[in-house]
Every structure is written in C-alpha cells, then in structure tokens.
Amino acid sequence: MKFFIDTADVSEIKDLSSSGFLDGVTTNPSLIKKSGRNINEVIAEICDIVPGPVSAEVAATNYNDMIAEAQVLKKIAKNVTIKVPLTWDGLKACRTLRDEDVLVNVTLCFSASQALLAAKSGATFISPFVGRLDDIGLDGMDLISDICTIYSNYPNLNTEVLVASIRSPKHVIEAAKMGADIVTLPPNVLKQLISHPLTDNGLKAFLEDWKMTGQSIT
C-alpha cells in the first residue's frame, strides 16, 4: 500500500518525507486556502520535496476551463497529478488529459457507480471519501470494498483506489485489508499509525531497567 499525505503544509511534508515512506501528496482548494499561499508556488515546492505524484486540483467546473487550468498546473513539475471532480465535465477532462499522458486523480467519489465511470474514463486514481460517508451515517469502508471488488473483476481497468477523507488508523487498516492501493492521510493520522500504549510502556520499562544496570553502550 502507498501512503500519500493530505496537506499543503510544506513543513509537515518535509518532516514526513524524511521517513522514506511518503509516496505522494494530495492537495485541494481548502488545503491551499489553509496554507495562505499561491497554489503554483506551493505545488512547485511540494514537487521538489516529494518525487511521487502530487495532486493539484482545478477550480473550474466546466470542461474547457478545466483543461485550460490543467495546462497551467501540469507545467509546474513532471510529477503533478491533475485533480478533477467527479462530474460529467470532470470525466470528459479526465479522458482528454489521460490521452495526453497526464496523471489524473478523480475526486469526490461517493458511489461505486461513480468509481466505475471514472475508471472507464481512464482515471489514474479514484478518490472515494470514506469519512464524509461516515458523517452522514453510512459506512465509508463499504464503498472501498465495493470499488476494490469491481476493479478486480476487470483487470483492464488500471485505476488505483486512493482512499481519502480518512479520519483514523482504523480506516487505514481496513483499507489495506480490502486491497486498496493508496491511502491519503492528514499528518496527524499518519503519525497515529505508529502509536500503541504497550510500545510506550514497554520502552519505559526497558529504559528504567537499563538505567539500573549503570552501564553505557558508548
């Protein structure tokens, strides 16, 4: 499974990229707004840090303007992935961009039928939002299971399942068990993956015992 980080905070990305397990980055208009910076500058800086795919989302809602914005964004760096919404115009833009060999992340997916259409449009990545489905009383992971099953039935569909709107480590583990290709996580959730109270307690006990020996390794 690949790990993407869902943020436009360059300092967070620099910190996590040093770990070696960061495979890509996803951004959206809300994250760009939170950064308080120009989108072109932020995306360029992120692409310098992370060699993997970096999603930059168009703000347009009609096909022609999406393509125009995509032409600007894709020039920022070779690893820019154009992010488009799951609408008719978005899927049309997806097909055009994929015909140009541009990576495309189709976002705001909330149903298996939408995911099937995105794959048929040639999407590089499909981004189902599990947390937002949970918020309205549904089980977001059911959608991931459905998409993974459908895609596995048709090997000619090469779209990768990028699980988005992740709220907890449990989402990550369930997605991995279902065979999802990628998860994109907020930095705080990514850091939670390493935490376990038994690890903390065990380390504390080991250090206390070691101190009592009076020894030093160096």
pLDDT digit string, tens, across residues 62-119: 999 999 999 999 999 999 999 999 999 999 999 999 999 999 999 999 999 999 999 9
For residues 72 and 44, give the distance between their C-alpha atoms in angstroms, rounded to a whole number. Answer: 12
Give the chain's domains with CATH numbers: 2-213 (3.20.20.70)
Portion of the chain with pLDDT greater than 90, in percent: 97
What span, in angstroms and rounded, lies between the C-alpha atoms of 164 and 120?
A: 20
Q: Who's near 120: CB < 8 A, 6+ residues apart? A: 157
Is a pLDDT exceeding 90 seen at residue 124? Answer: yes
Per residue, the 3-state secondary structure of 155-210, as one string, reads CCCCCEEEEECCCCHHHHHHHHHHCCCEEEECHHHHHHCCCCHHHHHHHHHHHHHH
Q: Is 75 marked active-site? A: no
pLDDT at position 19: 85
Cβ distance 38 to 67 under 8 Å? no
* Amino acid 188: pLDDT: 94
pLDDT of residue 210: 95
pLDDT tens, position by position, 11-58: 999 999 988 889 999 999 999 999 999 999 999 999 999 999 999 999
Spot the catalytic one: 34, 83, 92, 170.
83
Find out whether 74 and 102 touch, Cβ atoms under 8 Å. yes
- Supply 76's token pair: 């920022």
Task: Confirm if 121 and 86 have CB atoms less than 8 A apart.
Answer: no
Assess contact for 135 and 157: CB atoms under 8 A. Answer: no
Is there a contact between 144 and 184 (Cβ–Cβ < 8 Å)?
Answer: no
Query: What pLDDT digit, counting tens, does each position of 130-188 carry?
Result: 999 999 999 999 999 999 999 999 999 999 999 999 999 999 999 999 999 999 999 99
Cα–Cα distance for residue pair 182/201, rounded to 1 Å:
31
